[in-house]
DNA sequence: TTGTGTGCAAAAGCTTTGCATGTTG
DNA sequence: CAACATGCAAAGCTTTTGCACACAA
């Protein structure tokens, strides 16, 4: 649960530019809270939920509320800077997505560990199914569930 | 939200046998509530959540509680008679799975409509990734999200 | 008869909403 | 200065838990 304070400054600046642009185009206010949340997210690695992010900001003495966290997460999803996931539990998890290539997830049902992988065949499936079923497909989630054979410390989360 | 009272009697009897066998092997009690819930599920088509199922049973004058519904759903997932889904909202959805071939879902982000499709390439991806990442993969979810082009009555659910 | 399963209601966990206040444009 | 965003707390929803009673084995 420790977040590693590794901020890729360059990536963050680009993300910030995208966010700024998004807010300007939509007549949204560029508040310090919104930028602070973006920055915290871009410091984090892996996956997080709204509560974890909120607590993390609180312990860093930011003055933010849950409402603002939820509100901002929604904006960031809307401009594709973060991605929303449901890994089988009723908690929405997020991960930053700008500058990272599209990938899918493999989740250990024992310890909750999440691995990532890419497979180009999914793109083919999306294209084919979109055409067959007359859908304009915008995104997808492929989650594989199983048990990791090696380093599984069971029932972690 | 109407459930269509079409009970495939044969399929239901087989499912019941599987459930009975599961309960016997695990020293669980074969209560009338558990069978009633299984029957209601096998009457339903499409996807449902715990609350919908609970309400539906209440209106049919069954005397069941939410606790029992949730408990039984868990058992049915454990013996593979139903499948659990998270289609992006924080509600767990289920569908009966015995007698139905494995399939994935295409969800309309406007109206909530869910279509099903099959693609054998997913099996290949599962096999390959399981091997590469040293996981014993038990199941998966592939959800494609998009907008249906034709008969979309927008914002239904 | 014994202990698991049940119903009911309260509690818990995540997310949304209402309202007064603060702050951006 | 006007509207939008924020903080806070309360409310909403889904799911889980505690407890006394019921009933399957």
pLDDT tens-place string over residues A5-49: 667 888 999 999 999 999 999 999 999 999 999 999 999 888 999
Give the position of tokens 């907008």: B147
Burial B106-133 (b: 16+ CB within 10 A, else e): bbbbebbbbbeeebeebeebbeebbeeb
φ, ψ at A92 (rounded to 5°): -80, 130
Both tokens of A18, joined, read 């995208």
The CATH number for A9-96, chosen from 3.30.43.10, 3.40.50.300, 1.10.630.10, 1.10.10.10, is 1.10.10.10
Q: Which SS3 state, helix, strand or coil, does residue B74 take?
A: helix
Contacts of A119 in chain B (CB under 8 A): 125, 128-129
Cross-chain CB nearest to B134 (options A90, A140, A148): A148
* Model confidence, pTM: 0.84
Strand C: which residues 43-82 of A lie within 7 A (CB)? 49-51, 66-67, 70-71
- Indicate whether B126 pLDDT > 90: yes
pLDDT tens-place string over residues A75-123: 999 999 999 999 888 899 999 998 788 899 998 887 778 889 999 899 9
The mean pLDDT of B73-77, rounded to a whole number, is: 97
Contacts of B146 in chain A (CB under 8 A): 130, 135-139
Strand C bases within 7 angstroms of protein beta carbons? 4-10, 13-18, 23-25
CA of B71 to nearest chain A CA: how many angstroms apart?
16
- Please, which residues bridge with residue B129 across strands? none
Contacts of A135 in chain B (CB under 8 A): 106, 108, 115, 144, 146-149
Residue B113 · residue B87 · CB < 8 Å: no
Q: Which fold has domain A104-156?
A: Dna Ligase; domain 1 (3.30.1490)
Q: Do domains B9-96 and B104-156 have the same CATH topology?
A: no
The angle formed by the CA atoms of residues B131, B136 and B137, to the nearest 5 degrees, is 95
Domain ranges in chain B? Answer: 9-96, 104-156
Q: How far apart are CA A65 and CA B140, in angstroms?
A: 36
The rounded Cα B44 to chain-centroid distance in angstroms is 10
Asked whether strand D has any atom less than 7 Å from the CB of B61, the reply is: no
Classify residue A102 by its DSSP letter: -
């Amino acid at each position: 649960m420790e977040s590693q304070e590794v901020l890729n400054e360059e990536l963050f600046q680009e993300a910030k530019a995208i966010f700024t642009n998004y807010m300007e185009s939509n007549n949204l206010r560029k508040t310090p809270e919104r930028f602070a949340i973006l920055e915290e997210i871009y410091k984090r690695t892996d996956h997080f939920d709204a509560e974890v992010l909120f607590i993390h900001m609180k312990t860093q003495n930011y003055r933010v509320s849950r409402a603002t966290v939820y509100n901002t997460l929604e904006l960031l999803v809307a401009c594709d800077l973060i991605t929303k996931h449901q890994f089988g539990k009723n908690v929405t998890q997020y991960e930053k997505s700008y500058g990272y290539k599209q990938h899918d997830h493999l989740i250990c049902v024992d310890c909750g560990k999440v691995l990532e992988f890419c497979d180009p065949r999914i793109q083919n499936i999306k294209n084919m199914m979109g055409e067959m079923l007359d859908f304009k497909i915008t995104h997808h989630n492929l989650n594989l569930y199983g048990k990791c054979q090696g380093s599984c410390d069971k029932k972690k989360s």
